[in-house]
């Protein structure tokens, strides 16, 4: 859970500051730097490829009006508190 929270924060900051489209190899290196175990790497890469195409600037507007951002398509929770 802690790893997911850290990666979500990294993905969100990447969208807010500047966008980057990773190559698969560059993304693997970055995830390893942030503590993702090698035996879980295939699952993480598959998730990111299908959610954002390795693009930190990826967004998706959902049918409920919320917007997902970044590599992992993390939902913008602030909308629910406003």
The residues carrying an active-site annotation are 51, 68
Walk across the sheet containing 67-69 and list its strands: 59-61, 67-69, 74-75
How many C-beta atoms surround the C-beta of residue 27 within 10 A? 20
Q: Rounded to whole angstroms, how far apart are CA atoms 74 and 8?
A: 7
């Amino acid at each position: 859970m802690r790893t997911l929270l850290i990666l979500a924060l990294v993905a969100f900051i990447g969208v807010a500051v500047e966008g980057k489209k990773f190559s698969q190899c560059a993304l693997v290196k970055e995830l390893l730097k942030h503590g993702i175990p090698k035996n879980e790497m295939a699952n993480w890469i598959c998730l990111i490829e299908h959610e954002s195409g390795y693009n930190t600037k990826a967004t998706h507007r959902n049918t409920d009006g919320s917007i997902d951002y970044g590599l992992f398509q993390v939902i913008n929770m602030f909308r629910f508190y406003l």
